[in-house]
């Protein structure tokens, strides 16, 4: 029987971050990963491959549509999907190897196989060769198995016509007509990729708006920009059924209680993900899951109902974000080693990597109004930025919301070029409870995209106070 101070199930951001944090404080660690590559969903089927395709497809779109404004003439632009996918695989394998080498240097034992929880101290591993081995945790077990695409019971994935995001990241050719169920980050990002590459894309969202968790004003701007790029967005539209006939997906939707049939070559179901909790024998071992649902129930210290067993990331409540999993992993190791650790879930940044990018942190204006507090708000357009004008990236705006009395920043919402990078500055400001004046007193480089957020802080601090009723 193998043993270590800490056993970790899952080699994604939560798992490998926990492993590195545990080694740093002196624990021996065994990390169990069922797939051939470390990195989890984020690296293999999520964050990284989607960004590779987004960046490559954006270069293609720029060459076709935007080079002219810079005086660059580009003719007969084509795309090689096989080369595009080969580059994606290279990026994934490179990053996975980096993680593997880092864990090896830190003396983390990595075991390949599927893990099943036996008790609060023991895990059974089934290797790729179908042999079994048992591992004992002297100190704790950390569950970090991540999530899998959510599938409708009445519409199972067939891998060809009705597909998950995993499959949509690996199409071998551009579909002529791509339907997407779900107007959240996954659907919008993959829709953008394939629309840029030539597909006719229709996004179907049951709620009133795409990107429904974002600030409504920013969401409306995103809607406008994506429509301008050629995506068809159908909101307040509910999926009724879908079936494959003669290599086509006949998709029945309901709009204002009127049914309509849409025809696609492929239908991507992108309505979210669910925790990969059922495959580890958790309930049989005594770990309670939410009812209904499959999320692992944990206390404020991330401990499950089985003492000594902890869970992080997509397995537990909260947004399924890689940076959330990493933060929780570090916090769990602190708890196990007897330290106090706190995570500010109210300051988790969220990003949608369309073009323009969308990023938000803190409270939306709708949430501030719901709280009934007085606030100030300012919106500064990218078009006023010298750097944005020079780059030819003038679409977008920065919205800053601050408290009406003390000017502490409550929320920052951005749509525009570099939004994913600018939001980190806002994250620092909100986490440190800075005021708009304190941010504006910081000197920004000129010209830069960051200046737009800087100017928005100043404008918010002098804007009229709004009173929520």
Show which residues are catalytic.
446
Distance CA 220, CA 215 (A): 9
430, 409 Cβ separation under 8 angstroms: yes
* Vertex 117: Cα angle to 111 and 118 (nearest 5): 115
Could you write out the three-class secondary structure of 33-86? ECCCCCCHHHHHHCHHHHHHHHHHHHHHHHHHHCHHHHCCCCCCCCCCHHHHHH
d(C-alpha 240, C-alpha 262), whole Å: 11
Phi, psi (5° rounding) for residue 432? -90, 5
Residue 400, beta-bridge partner list: 378, 412
CA distance 271 to 59: 27
For 62, 256, 307, 437, the CA distances from 427, given in Å and listed in that order, are: 30, 40, 34, 16
What is the three-class DSSP state of 305?
coil
Q: How far apart are CA 169 and CA 85, in angstroms?
A: 9
Report the alpha-carbon distance of residue 468 to residue 273 in Å, rounded: 35
Cβ distance 205 to 232 under 8 Å? Answer: no
Q: Give CA–CA dist 62/290, Å, rounded.
A: 46
Distance CA 191, CA 439 (A): 36
């Amino acid at each position: 029987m193998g043993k270590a101070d800490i056993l970790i199930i899952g080699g994604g951001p939560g798992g490998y971050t926990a492993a590195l944090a545990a080694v740093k404080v002196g624990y021996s660690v065994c990390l169990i990963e069922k797939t051939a590559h470390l990195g989890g969903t984020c690296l293999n089927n999520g964050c990284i491959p989607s960004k590779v395709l987004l960046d490559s497809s954006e270069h293609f779109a720029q060459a076709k549509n935007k080079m002219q404004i810079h005086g660059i003439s580009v003719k007969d632009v084509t795309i090689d999907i096989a080369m595009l996918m080969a580059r994606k695989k290279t990026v994934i394998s490179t990053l996975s190897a980096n993680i593997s080498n880092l864990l090896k240097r830190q003396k983390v034992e990595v075991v390949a196989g599927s893990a099943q929880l036996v008790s609060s101290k023991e895990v059974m591993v089934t290797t790729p060769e179908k042999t079994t081995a048992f591992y004992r945790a002297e100190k704790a077990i950390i569950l970090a198995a991540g999530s899998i695409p959510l599938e409708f019971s009445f519409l199972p994935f067939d891998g060809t016509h009705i597909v998950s995001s995993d499959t949509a990241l690996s199409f071998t050719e551009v579909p002529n007509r791509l339907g997407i169920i779900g107007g959240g980050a996954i659907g919008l990002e993959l829709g953008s990729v394939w629309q840029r590459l030539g597909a006719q894309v229709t996004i179907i969202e049951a709620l009133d708006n795409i990107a429904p968790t974002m600030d409504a004003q920013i969401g409306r701007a995103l809607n406008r920009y994506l429509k301008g790029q050629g995506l068809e967005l159908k909101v307040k539209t509910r999926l009724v059924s879908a079936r494959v006939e003669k290599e086509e997906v006949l998709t029945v939707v309901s709009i204002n209680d009127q049914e309509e049939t849409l025809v696609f070559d492929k239908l991507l179901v992108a309505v979210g993900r669910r925790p990969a909790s059922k495959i580890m024998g958790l309930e049989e071992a005594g770990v309670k899951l939410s009812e209904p649902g499959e999320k692992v129930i944990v206390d404020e210290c991330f401990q499950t109902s089985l003492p000594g067993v902890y869970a992080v990331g997509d397995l537990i409540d909260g947004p399924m974000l890689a940076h959330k999993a990493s933060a929780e992993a570090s916090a769990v190791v602190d708890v196990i080693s007897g330290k106090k650790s706190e995570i500010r879930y109210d300051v988790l940044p969220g990003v949608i990597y369309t073009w323009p990018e969308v990023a938000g942190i803190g409270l939306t204006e709708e949430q501030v109004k719901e709280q009934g507090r007085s606030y100030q708000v300012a919106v500064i357009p990218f078009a006023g930025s010298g750097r944005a004008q020079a780059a030819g990236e003038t679409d977008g705006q920065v919205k800053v919301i601050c408290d009406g009395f003390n000017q502490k920043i409550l929320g920052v919402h951005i749509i525009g070029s570099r939004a994913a990078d600018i939001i980190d500055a806002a994250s620092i400001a909100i986490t440190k409870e800075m005021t708009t004046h304190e941010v504006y007193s910081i000197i920004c480089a000129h010209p830069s995209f960051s200046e737009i957020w800087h100017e928005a802080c100043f404008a918010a601090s002098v804007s009229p106070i709004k009173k929520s009723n």
